[in-house]
Amino acid sequence: MKIYTDLAEITTPIPQAHVTIGNFDGVHVGHQILFSEVVSRAYKNKGTSVVITFEPHPLKVVRPDIGIKLISTCEQKQELIELASIDVLICLPFTKELAQTPAETFVDEVLIKTVGVKELVVGYDYAFGKGREGNIDFLKKQGEQKGFPVTVVEAYYVDDVLASSTEIRKLVSQGRMRDVRKLLGRYYQIRGEVLVGKQRGGAELGFPTANLQISEEDLCPRHGVYVTQVIYDGKCYGGVLNIGYNPTFGEESLSAETHIFNFNEDIYGKPIKVNLLQFLRDEQKFSGPDELVAQISRDIEQAKEILMDAQKEILLSCEEKYNK
């Protein structure tokens, strides 16, 4: 996938550009359907599938007071868009100046002149430009006047729940990871470099942990203990994760500490990815290390049972797939 981060990098229009545009936070199942439509139409017309998105999220610029919490980092979003078989990603810096650009100017200067749009595919609720004047009706009229068809992909529901970034943020904050997975099409993931923490987990408790820092500005799941899959160096391990403030020891900073099963490597400063499979329990304050150790042991036992069931589910689905 070719990635542009500045319109000046696009020196000639993209051949037969079949374009979609949006914020695509989380790249959930609704977004994936949109990308599939773009890829399919580009393939049929021997064209190029193009995604236009923005960094940072426009609401961080136009409504910083909201404090929007993002499902995916820019890096994750790029990875997921590439997995959707998109040919070209244009990630535009979103500024106050861009926010004030009239919708018709954006169509003329960006979509037509620079990108060379041949067909535009958008989600049912997309709008852009100053005052969000670039809505669906506007785009359809622009397409009729300027020679590019506009296709609108309707809302997508999973179990009568709308697949939307707003809904996913709500579910993540509630710790409803099974429901999150349905709308994302994958597990919710946090990632980062392993930090040197208090090193209390191994020395005092007998359960060493890999610590990740979580910013208060990030989308933080419900505080508590989760069953996880930890991805390190291309391998996947089971684990349990605690997100919170470690009230037993009176900590003041928010952290995510993962005990990785059957793992004994020095990974300080190394990147890991942690998939959150299921919420187990709320964070709680214990009387001391002994009570905490006993509870962690129970958490690990329960987590291993859940991971075993998940593995059985994966194997059964594979068998059903190949037995049809």
Task: Cite the active site residues.
Answer: 257
User: Dihedral (C-alpha) 25, 27, 28, 33: value to the nearest 10 degrees?
Assistant: 130
Structure tokens given for 215: 């910013």
Tokens 């859940």 sit at which residue? 306
Q: Is 190 helix (H, G, I), strand (E, B) or coil?
A: strand
Burial 153-189 (b: 16+ CB within 10 A, else e): beebebeeeebbbebbbebbeebbbebbbbbbbbbbb
Measure the CA–CA gap between 215 and 275, rounded to whole angstroms: 18
Half-sphere exposure of 222 (CA within 13 A, CB side): 20
In angstroms, what CA-CA distances link 120 with 139, 152, 211?
9, 9, 44
Q: How far apart are CA 168 and CA 159, in angstroms?
A: 14
Q: Classify 282 in phi/psi space as left (phi over 0), alpha (psi -120 to 50) or beta.
A: beta
